[in-house]
Structure 1
């Protein structure tokens, strides 16, 4: 038996409640032992995780906020993390697509299981995408949840060529991908950001709106679509940028009801969203990364043991692109 490390939420609260814990795993070379110990079902693979993505939902759950926290309050310690990339080290008997040594990434265990902040994780084979040799695993780990959130937000808003689209928090993990995907649809994109991120946002294809230079509605009028990645008062204030009959998709679930009610009072079309894992979407964006038609910016990489610092960074609201944890290797 060998041991491996995980980072777990020991109780709800500040980042310091995250703590390392040790688990045991049967010898990976002993297929019968894996079966006897029920480590793998027939349709599952065991992944040695190289990197795990860090997302705002991880920090909210750790703080005890939202549905995943409510459902897991009696399951602590609980290992968060929905984005992984790494290497297949064992396969269930019915798995045909994957072989030991394959590089994979996936949006896993959403929303109740999590498990990505771990050196090893058992994953249904169908939840994984292949990672091209040219794509760094740290980028592959940063893509799934943020990329699919951006993709599905644009789909819900029915963004088309020629639409004027406002993306709030355009330099963030979801925002910087939403900009590029909207530009690829032929939209004219505007994005709120700080002055320090203006050049970054412009390089992605958007017109930068500095939120510190006054209300956004003094900088943009008549947007067809608002992709609200901030929620709350910030999302509500941005409604005045949207033209009559415009479409609004608000992503933060905690304030979605509040924002949608205000949207309806303004005579706009409103919808909240909870991302749904999609291997097809992940495969498509992975191919775009490999082809250079999608850019994914990793702002910082933290060791797994420094997960508390990663949570502090993502809660600051000032990260550019994505944050990832180096879990098992520097691959």
Structure 2
């Protein structure tokens, strides 16, 4: 019987709590598709969950070991009602499980990967691409408005810049000195957060997309116009940002990304047409997943980190 090699969170704590395990290949239930995973995305939420923080950790605390991974791209193993064996698919998997060779996923969260789009690019989109799309949608960004995106060089940030630009917005994005050229190249005005406070570099923005939260997210409120709109993505500090914005007359919404295959289809098409660029910082073999977690925790990675499954 072939086995399913996975990387699991065995206890809450540091990256070293991730351990390889062998399990049986899962059997798809009604409405599910068995996928042989090619690549899985590594996201900040994976590291937070592993550390025991946030809603994700709360959900899994009694069922460890648990396999993370909400972004996957791979091949359908057997025919189902919606997909045929051999179809290339990608999607946002709410239950996790992406850090493994095989996975069962609900057919209605999956998108076909178009010709000419790599598994790597497709695996980069479900969490980061959909988060960027849904954050801009929640902010009701309109053409001609000024938007500030925090952490513009990161996974979500680099997609948010491109999508906001495509909507006709005037885009500003914070980043480190090392990423100035990269962020400018995506169509934003790059702001080096180490040079001076953001409010000294840009103000009266209509929309703030806060991808950092905490002290940084709160300080960025000073750049927002009165009656401006803010979407804060890190759930752990959302209440704090909402509270800090109230006396300033600024509306803040927190959000949680949800699977939307029709949005995912559009993102895949934009990548296929060369209208959205996917930046992949590094790809690690599954057995080096601990290092991927060490790296994502720095908050300094450019674009996306991926895990490649062994054959």
TM range (shorter): over 0.9
Q: CA RMSD in A?
A: 1.0
2:305 maps to 1:323: yes
2:32 maps to 1:47: no
Query: Whole-Å Cα distance in 2 between the matches of residues 317 and 41 of structure 1?
Result: 37
Question: What corresponds to 2:124 in structure 1?
Answer: 142
Query: Whole-Å Cα distance in 1 between the matches of residues 126 and 36 of structure 2?
Result: 17
Question: What corresponds to 1:8 in structure 2?
Answer: 8
Question: What corresponds to 1:178 in structure 2?
Answer: 160
Post-superposition offset of 1:42: 3.1
Q: Secondary structure at the match of 1:213?
A: coil
2:230 maps to 1:248: yes
TM-score if structure 1 supplies the norm length? Answer: 0.92
Query: Whole-Å Cα distance in 2 between the matches of residues 24 and 295 of structure 1?
Result: 37
Question: What corresponds to 1:102 in structure 2?
Answer: 87
Partners of 1:49 and 1:328 within 8 A in 2? no
2:191 maps to 1:191: no
Query: Whole-Å Cα distance in 2 between the matches of residues 158 and 260 of structure 1?
Result: 17
Query: Whole-Å Cα distance in 2 between the matches of residues 40 and 47 of structure 1?
Result: 9
Partners of 1:299 and 1:320 within 8 A in 2? yes
Question: What corresponds to 1:298 in structure 2?
Answer: 280
Post-superposition offset of 1:133: 2.4
Query: Whole-Å Cα distance in 2 between the matches of residues 201 and 40 of structure 1?
Result: 42
Question: What corresponds to 1:71 in structure 2?
Answer: 59
Query: Whole-Å Cα distance in 1 between the matches of residues 2 and 307 of structure 2?
Result: 22
Partners of 1:53 and 1:323 within 8 A in 2? yes
Query: Whole-Å Cα distance in 2 between the matches of residues 41 and 158 of structure 1?
Result: 38
Query: Whole-Å Cα distance in 1 between the matches of residues 201 and 38 of structure 2?
Result: 43
Q: Deviations over 1:123-179 (max 9, x none)?
A: 111111111221110111111111110001001111000000000000000000000
**Match 2:78 to one of 73, 79, 90:** 90
TM-score if structure 2 supplies the norm length? Answer: 0.98
